[in-house]
A and B are shown apart, each in its own frame.
Chain A
């Protein structure tokens, strides 16, 4: 250490290096913003989908599930649940509706959220929209 770096050289590497990479990161962020319309499925981002996203958040779904691989690892990945359920929003809604309020003895079970029909549709549409995001062919297969 002593031979390679003096204190002021070390300090300059810290300030200079950090500044350079912060600026690079901002440039890359700008570029990412320009490119993601091609992959983020924004053409299908309707009001209903936005409502579904809000419901997803306000019921803390990410506390058990992953979505595009991020979240908790207690319940299945949902970014491709639309495909997994045979591209049927009805199947997604039926699953959410059918959860027993008191769970299943000894097993994991999703809570019963008592959603209205409109909320169920919004959630299903949100999951359908997420399914359409192009994420480098992830997840690797239908099982998520």
Chain B
């Protein structure tokens, strides 16, 4: 850790990990509700548990991004953070309001929450991922603005690098696009149209900028590859992300009442959306291949490579599977979507945050890297979580294919609930894989308890004299 103010990121990382645990517990509950339909009913019905699962995911990823930014920006800008105090205040505001929102989901009927929070004045609740009470959304905006001010002031008055400029652009985009969470016309088609401006333009747009810059930062630090080379990659990756991703929004405008030309635009640009993710895979492997040193923190490098591969598989390949309109006609809103959603979020955003934490946390705790033993345990958690996520995705994909066939393609299409009963086998397998994921997460937590220093870096630059300048 080069700057004292970077220490504030530890708070954010700890919160991120704690909420991650909550998210996965609810994931396991949801998986069980798929097979034991009345599990916890009527106390925690499926919709409530799902809301907790997805909202915790979003909030903990935001904590991860913010923590990542607070760690990375001072080092890139070569100066202390504008205000550590503001970062701490905003942390507690965000953490307490986030906790209150989740608790209110669990303790109050949702309809009652809508009433108490005055949803009637500005109705924004009850739309997927944007279930937070309006006042909660206002809180999120305030936290984001304060955060952006803090980061922005640091970037502006410090050294400007491609990494922190791209990161800042991504964060500004994140905050601006969230404002569309307040747009909720009575016309359902328009409601859906703008809902995607938050959801799609986040995860398939500006979040990719944040992803690319976090990944690039860890790669610069762990490989020692020249910044010039990394900068070019970052520009090309984020250029492709926005060039494909913005019009790629069209792959959500197929069947919601929007004009037919979106079938073409969404299919073409959707099919190109894997490109930035593929470049990220190439980027990560290329940089590690060209490394000048074997960094003592080998597990952070593993997470970086893992992000490259899994983001491409989950977001790229599984996205491509159903992005073409003639395919999506049958798969839209089935378990295929669920399969894609799981691996894409894990592979791209969960992994990059864990990568950042893996790199930064040892430094925040006063060492270059964790002890060998701690790293090996963390690697176990990497493989347990990643492989179980691959299986969750495969089982959901199998369920989705059967669902599509029985419900939408056969000669005698069967009713939804009849088909769901036939998918029970796959849902049990998915639940088993989910339990393994939870075990992997527990192993991950355990890796933090193992103390000790790391070995030193090994300089390998002499073996590879042809490194690009």
With both beta carbons as reference points, the residue of chain B lying nearest to A62 in the complex is identified as B128
Closest Cβ–Cβ distance, residue A49 to chain B (whole Å): 8
Starting from the known contacts A2-B232, A61-B47, A62-B128, 7 additional A-B residue pairs (CB-CB under 8 Å) come to A1-B232, A2-B229, A17-B239, A40-B188, A72-B50, A103-B38, A143-B407
With both beta carbons as reference points, the residue of chain B lying nearest to A104 in the complex is identified as B38
The interface of chain B, by Cβ under 8 A from chain A, is: 33-34, 36-38, 41-42, 45-48, 50-51, 110-111, 114-115, 119-120, 123, 125-128, 131, 162, 184, 186-193, 228-229, 231-233, 235-236, 238-239, 242-243, 246-247, 249-250, 252-260, 262-263, 265, 329-330, 332-335, 337-338, 407-409, 413-417, 420, 468
Q: Are B37 and A59 in contact (CB under 8 A)?
A: no
Q: How far is the CA of A35 from the CA of B190 in the complex (A)?
A: 12
Q: Are A133 and B189 in contact (CB under 8 A)?
A: yes
Q: Are A58 and B110 in contact (CB under 8 A)?
A: yes
A32-B259, A57-B127 known; A76 and B110 CB under 8 Å? no
Residues from chain A with a CB closer than 8 A to the CB of B42 are: 101-103, 111-112
A135 beta carbon closer than 8 Å to chain B? yes
Which of B46, B115, B258 is in CB contact (< 8 Å) with A32? Answer: B258
With both beta carbons as reference points, the residue of chain B lying nearest to A15 in the complex is identified as B239
Q: How far is the CA of A123 from the CA of B73 in the complex (A)?
A: 49
Q: Are B239 and A10 in contact (CB under 8 A)?
A: yes
Q: How far is the CA of A18 from the CA of B238 in the complex (A)?
A: 9
A7-B228, A72-B50, A143-B407 known; A53 and B188 CB under 8 Å? yes
With both beta carbons as reference points, the residue of chain A lying nearest to B418 in the complex is identified as A143
Residues from chain B with a CB closer than 8 A to the CB of A141 are: 408, 413
Q: How far is the CA of A7 from the CA of B162 in the complex (A)?
A: 10
Q: How far is the CA of A68 from the CA of B254 in the complex (A)?
A: 10
Residues from chain B with a CB closer than 8 A to the CB of A28 are: 247, 250, 265
Q: Which of B187, B231, B407 has most A Cβ within 10 Å?
A: B187
Q: How far is the CA of A68 from the CA of B192 in the complex (A)?
A: 10
Residues from chain B with a CB closer than 8 A to the CB of A58 are: 110-111, 114-115, 119, 123, 125-126
Which of A57, A67, A105 is in CB contact (< 8 Å) with B123? Answer: A57
Q: How far is the CA of A140 from the CA of B127 in the complex (A)?
A: 24
Residues from chain A with a CB closer than 8 A to the CB of B254 are: 136, 138
The interface of chain A, by Cβ under 8 A from chain B, is: 1-2, 5-7, 10-11, 13-14, 17-18, 21-22, 24-25, 28-29, 31-33, 35-36, 39-42, 45, 49-50, 53-54, 56-64, 66-77, 101-109, 111-113, 129-130, 133-136, 138-144
Q: Are A111 and B45 in contact (CB under 8 A)?
A: yes
Can you give 21 A-B contacts (C-beta < 8 A)? A7-B231, A11-B162, A11-B235, A24-B247, A36-B258, A54-B123, A58-B123, A61-B47, A64-B47, A67-B188, A68-B333, A71-B128, A73-B338, A74-B47, A74-B50, A106-B37, A108-B37, A113-B111, A135-B256, A136-B254, A139-B332
Q: How far is the CA of A133 from the CA of B188 in the complex (A)?
A: 9
Closest Cβ–Cβ distance, residue B319 to chain A (whole Å): 16
Residues from chain B with a CB closer than 8 A to the CB of A54 are: 120, 123
A63-B50, A141-B413 known; A134 and B257 CB under 8 Å? yes
With both beta carbons as reference points, the residue of chain B lying nearest to A142 in the complex is identified as B413
Residues from chain A with a CB closer than 8 A to the CB of B47 are: 60-64, 72, 74
With both beta carbons as reference points, the residue of chain A lying nearest to B231 in the complex is identified as A7
Q: How far is the CA of A59 from the CA of B42 in the complex (A)?
A: 14
Q: How far is the CA of A103 from the CA of B45 in the complex (A)?
A: 10
Q: Are A40 and B257 in contact (CB under 8 A)?
A: yes
A14-B238, A62-B127 known; A69 and B255 CB under 8 Å? yes
Q: Are B186 and A77 in contact (CB under 8 A)?
A: no
A45-B187, A57-B123, A60-B131 known; A143 and B415 CB under 8 Å? yes
Residues from chain B with a CB closer than 8 A to the CB of A76 are: 415-417
Q: How far is the CA of A141 from the CA of B193 in the complex (A)?
A: 24
Closest Cβ–Cβ distance, residue A85 to chain B (whole Å): 12
With both beta carbons as reference points, the residue of chain A lying nearest to B186 in the complex is identified as A50
Q: Which of A39, A40, A70 has most B Cβ within 10 Å?
A: A70
Q: Which of A13, A17, A18, A144 has most B Cβ within 10 Å?
A: A18
A7-B231, A57-B126, A108-B37 known; A18 and B243 CB under 8 Å? yes
Which of B242, B256, B420 is in CB contact (< 8 Å) with A70? Answer: B256
Q: Which of B42, B115, B162, B188 has most A Cβ within 10 Å?
A: B188
Q: How far is the CA of A14 from the CA of B233 in the complex (A)?
A: 11
Q: Are B37 and A138 in contact (CB under 8 A)?
A: no
Q: How far is the CA of A40 from the CA of B257 in the complex (A)?
A: 6
Q: Are A144 and B416 in contact (CB under 8 A)?
A: yes
With both beta carbons as reference points, the residue of chain B lying nearest to A42 in the complex is identified as B187
A7-B231, A18-B243, A102-B42 known; A143 and B416 CB under 8 Å? yes
Q: Which of B50, B131, B184 has most A Cβ within 10 Å?
A: B50
Q: How far is the CA of A64 from the CA of B417 in the complex (A)?
A: 13
Q: How far is the CA of A33 from the CA of B232 in the complex (A)?
A: 38
Residues from chain A with a CB closer than 8 A to the CB of B193 are: 29, 32
With both beta carbons as reference points, the residue of chain A lying nearest to B400 in the complex is identified as A73
Closest Cβ–Cβ distance, residue B42 to chain A (whole Å): 6
Closest 9 CB pairs of A and B: A63-B47, A57-B126, A69-B333, A108-B37, A10-B235, A138-B255, A14-B239, A76-B416, A69-B332
Q: Are B38 and A105 in contact (CB under 8 A)?
A: yes
Q: How far is the CA of A72 from the CA of B229 in the complex (A)?
A: 43
